[in-house]
Amino acid sequence: MALFFRLEEAVSDLIHDGDSVAMEGFTHLIPFAAGHEIIRQRLRNLTLIRMTPDLIYDQLIGAGCARKLIFSWGGNPGVGSLHRLRDAVERGWPNPIEIEEHSHAAMANAYAAGASNLPCAVFRGYEGVDLAQLNPNIRTVTCPFTGERLACVPAIRPDVAVIHARRADREGNVLLEGIVGVQKEAVLSAKRSLVTVEEVVDNFGPRSPNAVILPKWTVSAISVVPGGARPSYAHGYYSRDNSFYVKWDEVSKSRESFLEWLRLEVTA
Amino acid sequence: MALFFRLEEAVSDLIHDGDSVAMEGFTHLIPFAAGHEIIRQRLRNLTLIRMTPDLIYDQLIGAGCARKLIFSWGGNPGVGSLHRLRDAVERGWPNPIEIEEHSHAAMANAYAAGASNLPCAVFRGYEGVDLAQLNPNIRTVTCPFTGERLACVPAIRPDVAVIHARRADREGNVLLEGIVGVQKEAVLSAKRSLVTVEEVVDNFGPRSPNAVILPKWTVSAISVVPGGARPSYAHGYYSRDNSFYVKWDEVSKSRESFLEWLRLEVTA
Amino acid sequence: MSYTSSEMMTVAAARALRNDDVCFVGIGLPSAACNVARLTHAPDLTLIYESGTIATRPAILPLSIGDGELCETALTTVSVPEMFRYWLQGGRITLGFLGGAQIDRYGNLNSTVIGDYAKPKVRLPGAGGATEIASQCGRTFVVMQQSARTFVEKLDFLTTLGHGRTGRERRELGIRTAGPQLVVTDLCMLQPEQDTCEFIVTSLHPGVTREQVQQNTGWPVRFADTVAQTAGPTADELAVLRELNERTARAHRSDS
Amino acid sequence: MSYTSSEMMTVAAARALRNDDVCFVGIGLPSAACNVARLTHAPDLTLIYESGTIATRPAILPLSIGDGELCETALTTVSVPEMFRYWLQGGRITLGFLGGAQIDRYGNLNSTVIGDYAKPKVRLPGAGGATEIASQCGRTFVVMQQSARTFVEKLDFLTTLGHGRTGRERRELGIRTAGPQLVVTDLCMLQPEQDTCEFIVTSLHPGVTREQVQQNTGWPVRFADTVAQTAGPTADELAVLRELNERTARAHRSDS
């Protein structure tokens, strides 16, 4: 049953050292505020799961929170590299990081399989590519009807999912809308879940009968954090701060400027 | 690319003797008008696919259109038996009918697998039940990570899907709304598709960004058939004619009264 | 206050529902029981119908699993594949209701055929959602009229797994959900015995004798060491149920 | 009229799009090319972005795959699992755009690492959607700046299958989609030779010589029997592209 908590409390109740954590949001609604709270609480040895690690995981990795990363595309969208991720992979700073790498199709199917309480996801993919040889979690099953070999990856079943949404109602139901990515699947696949929201409304009012809603009993905790997705965006609330994404390329390039940013903007 | 046709034309262009046909609609939006057109065109040897055969397939089976039925629940909802289906199964009238029987979960997964261009659907189910021994299309695959045995059925890939929807826009996009059942999956799993609609609108107007819409290039033909779901219902247009469902129990009980109804209400 | 045996069944089933249950509801008596519970002791009970409607609050009882009323009063409505994948198989439903044409002593059910499958005497509707409701809901309740024809020594067909043909199969298959935990009939309530998983009578409805129960059971039925007497429906329970039925009848009359 | 080599690339790619294509669009040049096509010869072109937006008609170019503009102008927006299952794997996308850090003569791409996978010299972003875009779209186009560093004899890592390491693997794996059918660079266009599936130069952009192309290709590049000359961008094409870029710059400036 979803209850409302301060972000600090929700993070410390739900997320612990060594947990696997999926923070999702596909360009839209990336839960940056929750990420910064994880950094402030100095959580360590996390397995971070996310299709597009993006700036949010660049920050967590640079801050030393991560032991392992499960992902499918690790870049700064439209800008270039994730320098902190690269520094961890290429030079082991601030600590070596294990990576488990997939394709988007595999990750999307693995989240859906997790939400469906399946041990694995079966799909078409990974034909003839090197990743299939290197990642022992890419296997195959054979269709018992046609004999076709299909790709198979483990379901994603994180300890905790963290997402940002536009709004919750007073009962604790959460409305997802617009670019919904894999957020619903992330929450349904996880043992525990934290949703940060822009605002709480009395009720959602008139809406599509097929609105994408997480009922209160699927969410562990809700925190009201206006602006909680910045510099990503929340449709109808604020736009993507594209200049920050560009600026991040500079900020994150050196360890020194990154640590300075971290001190000034997150941990201070 | 969806084009608008008269129902008569659409059925005769898209559906042929011997085809596998999935007519879907979960209580809501059952495409009865299209079913009656199939009866009038005296189509034969169809493999009829539908989770809940319902009155629509009772009528097609009684009229001699079906060679085989793939289904998961064959009753008159809230009323009782489907007498024409029972007469065909129990006594081979008007012709013997082969049945392939599943559970709802299997059928729903099989449609989703068809829409996903997979040869089969993998799910949890069928543990310890007799159907799994009798239906050769119920098999298992083993999860390569956990060793668990999971149920597996062939994907549904019908020759034709037929659904009824509330409205299309002038370009031929189709809006599904409310109880959407497996209609979207049925259309996406089929080689060809026919959608009957209550009305055509200039455009769908303001709507949820996540509205359930079939783009025009996923639909073969659209026919405007107001009332095309009666005695089932179209939310916002007309209610379910519950009295017809009750009356059907009488009408369909004997071959004579059924044939009389067919002559007066469908073929005349 | 007088009441029918069907009212007794409905009320007994309603009482067994918890306020925090998430119920997969079938049409007919389960739907009535769930809505009576919601209107009495379990206002937060979450109702889910397999047509995809989540957290519905119908003012009247639906006649079908996909009535417009269910969609209009739902928190949201999802597709049927999503319902079976994310919600039922996803393990998010705590309680499912089941019924059937036949039940055996281990709570296995038949709703497929009477007679031989290939050449049936009576072709019944089939499994529908029941097979996976039985294995994937946290626990299930069975509601059925009791008679020697329906409470049978041996099922003609096992459509829906209870505790298995010997009471052990469910565990042996590694199914982690609890399975059938309560059978409510017009005569009594039965619950599975701890070790054997055989359903034994734990409560007799007012005025019902052990002999009546045995006459209406196709196997030598056993009784718990202490058999309770089911409390008759209270005035409040009856009022809620009858108002619901009356509202429902009125609404459906005006439909046609 | 003068134009940049990047404008030439964009226009050449735009021309190869058909009015009835359903395109899986990536950010950057593919997005520009698709929108130029939509605003010129292919008004019915359907654009799909992997964020789930179907049939979008952005007035400005998105900076990310999930910009609000894409959702606002879309026919509808689906979840990412649905996008990959029903739409891409479902076989409903006729054309995908790909790029990468390295390409070989058979159109295989590397966007994963330079150097060894376990101990990379440069860690690149990785596959993203590309692996399955390459196998599941009806056909693909590759758009890349051409240089001896990017057009290589041997990939450091095969992220995305073109026609395979010997040009035969794609067929041998039973993949039924056509794979890469066009490579557009700032210098020329290459297409797969019928039997070998090796990419050969079929058209040189205005002012580009065969020597330039060879200098910027890491393998002994071959030329078609008749090599066309790419028509330079028309005034109309340039105007549409530049207005689009100008609108985009203006909109994104006002964002921040």
Q: How far apart are CA C154 and CA C110, in angstroms?
A: 10
Q: How many helices (H) and strands (E) does chain C have?
A: 8, 14
pTM: 0.97
How big is the B-D interface in CB pairs under 8 Å? 42
> Average of pLDDT values for D25-32?
85
Q: Measured between CB atoms, which of B77, B111, B212 is closest to C65?
A: B77
Here the tokens at position A135 are 């990642």
B158 three-state secondary structure: coil
Q: What is the DSSP string of chain A?
A: --EE--HHHHHHHH--TT-EEEE--SSBS--HHHHHHHHHTT--SEEEEESS-HHHHHHHHHTT-EEEEEES--EETTTEE-HHHHHHHHH--SS--EEEE--HHHHHHHHHHHHTT-SEEEES--TT-THHHH-TT-EEEE-TTT--EEEEEEPP--SEEEEEEEEEETT--EEE-SS-TTHHHHHHHSSEEEEEEEEEES---S--TT-EEE-GGG-SEEEE-TTTTTTSBBTTTB---HHHHHHHHHHTTSHHHHHHHHIIIII-
pLDDT, tens digit, 9 for 90 and up, residues B212-226: 999 999 999 999 999
User: Using CA atoms in the order C167, C168, C171, C172, what is the torsion angle rounded to 10 degrees?
Assistant: -150
- The CATH number given to whatever domain includes residue D28 is 3.40.1080.10
**Alpha-helical runs (H) found in B92-241:** 104-115, 131-134, 183-189
| CB C76 within 8 Å of CB A211 | yes
Contact A129 D161 (CB under 8 A): yes
Neighbours of chain D (3+ CB pairs under 8 A): A, B
Long-range contacts of C220-228 (CB under 8 A, 24+ apart): C221/C105, C221/C151, C222/C193, C222/C198, C224/C191, C224/C193, C224/C200, C227/C201, C227/C202, C227/C203, C228/C202, C228/C203, C228/C204
End-to-end CA distance of chain C: 33
Spell out which residues of chain A touch residue B139, defining contact as CB-CB under 8 Å.
Answer: 144-145
Distance from CA of C28 to the nearest CA of B (A): 7
Q: Could you tell me the pLDDT band of residue D254, with boundaries at 50, 70 and 90?
A: low
> Average of pLDDT values for B117-146?
98
The proportion of chain C whose per-residue pLDDT surpasses 70, expressed as a percent, equals: 99
Strand-pair partners of A234: A238
Spell out which residues of chain A touch residue B140, defining contact as CB-CB under 8 Å.
Answer: 144
How big is the A-B interface in CB pairs under 8 Å? 82
Q: Which residues of chain C are modeled with pLDDT < 70?
A: 254-256
pLDDT reported for residue A2: 55
Q: Could you tell me the pLDDT band of residue D63, with boundaries at 50, 70 and 90?
A: confident
Q: Measured between CB atoms, which of B137, B146, B177 is closest to A209?
A: B177
B125 reaches C (C-beta below 8 A): yes
Pairing of strands A80-81, A75-76: antiparallel
pLDDT, tens digit, 9 for 90 and up, residues A182-218: 999 999 999 999 999 999 999 999 999 999 999 999 9
Q: Which of C101, C181, C213, C84 is nearest to C136 (CA)?
A: C84
> Average of pLDDT values for B124-133?
97
D142 three-state secondary structure: strand
Structural domain span for residue C52: 5-255
Spell out which residues of chain C touch residue B78, defining contact as CB-CB under 8 Å.
Answer: 27-28, 63-64
Sorted by where each starts, the structural domains of chain B and their CATH numbers stand as 7-103+156-254 (3.40.1080.10), 104-154 (no CATH)
Spell out which residues of chain B touch residue A212, defining contact as CB-CB under 8 Å.
Answer: 210
pLDDT, tens digit, 9 for 90 and up, residues A17-47: 999 999 999 999 999 999 999 999 999 999 9
Spell out which residues of chain C touch residue B134, defining contact as CB-CB under 8 Å.
Answer: 117
Distance from CA of B141 to the nearest CA of D (A): 20
Contact A209 C86 (CB under 8 A): no
B252 reaches C (C-beta below 8 A): no
B184 reaches C (C-beta below 8 A): yes
pLDDT, tens digit, 9 for 90 and up, residues B15-30: 999 999 999 999 999 9
| A86 pLDDT above the threshold of 70 | yes
B120 reaches D (C-beta below 8 A): no
pLDDT, tens digit, 9 for 90 and up, residues D75-131: 999 999 999 999 999 999 999 999 999 999 999 999 999 999 999 999 999 999 999
Q: How far apart are CA B58 and CA B248, in angstroms?
A: 10
Show which residues on chain A lie within 8 Å of chain B, measured between beta carbons: 116-120, 122-124, 137, 139-146, 148, 150, 152, 154, 177-178, 180, 207-212, 235
Interface with A, mutate which of C75, C80, C88, C136 (most A CBs under 10 A): C75
Q: How far apart are CA C67 and CA D106, in angstroms?
A: 57
B77 reaches C (C-beta below 8 A): yes
Q: How far apart are CA D184 and CA D201, in angstroms?
A: 10
Neighbours of chain A (3+ CB pairs under 8 A): B, C, D
Q: Measured between CB atoms, which of C75, C77, C78 is closest to A173?
A: C75
One of C50, C69, C198, C237 is an active-site residue; which one? C50
Count up the domains in chain D and report the number. 1
The proportion of chain A whose per-residue pLDDT surpasses 70, expressed as a percent, equals: 99
Beta strand extents in chain C (DSSP E only): 22-25, 46-49, 53-54, 76-77, 95-98, 102-103, 109-110, 113-115, 120-123, 139-143, 180-184, 188-192, 199-204, 223-229
C70 three-state secondary structure: helix
Q: Could you tell me the pLDDT band of residue D30, with boundaries at 50, 70 and 90?
A: confident
Report ipTM for this prediction. 0.97
Strand-pair partners of D189: D184, D203
Q: Which of C187, C193, C195, C194 is nearest to C214 (CA)?
A: C187
Average model confidence (pLDDT) across chain C: 95
B188 reaches D (C-beta below 8 A): yes
Q: Measured between CB atoms, which of B123, B154, B178 is closest to A145?
A: B154
pLDDT reported for residue C255: 55
One of D50, D69, D198, D237 is an active-site residue; which one? D50
Contact C85 B112 (CB under 8 A): yes
> Average of pLDDT values for A223-231?
98
pLDDT, tens digit, 9 for 90 and up, residues C16-38: 999 999 999 977 788 899 999 99
Spell out which residues of chain D touch residue A179, defining contact as CB-CB under 8 Å.
Answer: 51-53, 66, 68, 70-71, 77
**Alpha-helical runs (H) found in chain B:** 7-14, 32-40, 54-62, 83-91, 104-115, 131-134, 183-189, 242-251, 255-261
Spell out which residues of chain C touch residue B241, defining contact as CB-CB under 8 Å.
Answer: 255-256
B119 reaches D (C-beta below 8 A): no
Q: Could you tell me the pLDDT band of residue D26, with boundaries at 50, 70 and 90?
A: confident
Interface with B, mutate which of A28, A109, A137, A141 (most B CBs under 10 A): A141
Q: Which of D139, B149, A149 is nearest to C173 (CA)?
A: B149
Q: How far apart are CA B126 and CA A245, in angstroms?
A: 50
| D167 pLDDT above the threshold of 90 | yes
Neighbours of chain C (3+ CB pairs under 8 A): A, B
Q: Measured between CB atoms, which of A105, A111, A240 is closest to D129?
A: A105
Q: Measured between CB atoms, which of C88, C121, C256 is closest to B243?
A: C256
Spell out which residues of chain D touch residue B176, defining contact as CB-CB under 8 Å.
Answer: none
D50 is catalytic: yes
Contact C75 A213 (CB under 8 A): yes
Q: A231: cis peptide before it, omega within 30°?
A: yes
| CB C160 within 8 Å of CB C142 | no
pLDDT, tens digit, 9 for 90 and up, residues A120-176: 999 999 999 999 999 999 999 999 999 999 999 999 999 999 999 999 999 999 999
Average model confidence (pLDDT) across chain D: 95
Contact D81 A134 (CB under 8 A): no
| D162 pLDDT above the threshold of 80 | yes
Q: Could you tell me the pLDDT band of residue D256, with boundaries at 50, 70 and 90?
A: very low
Q: Which of D182, D192, D206, D142 is nearest to D7 (CA)?
A: D206
Interface with A, mutate which of B143, B149, B176 (most A CBs under 10 A): B143
Q: Which of D151, D182, D157 is nearest to D30 (CA)?
A: D182
Distance from CA of B12 to the nearest CA of A (A): 32
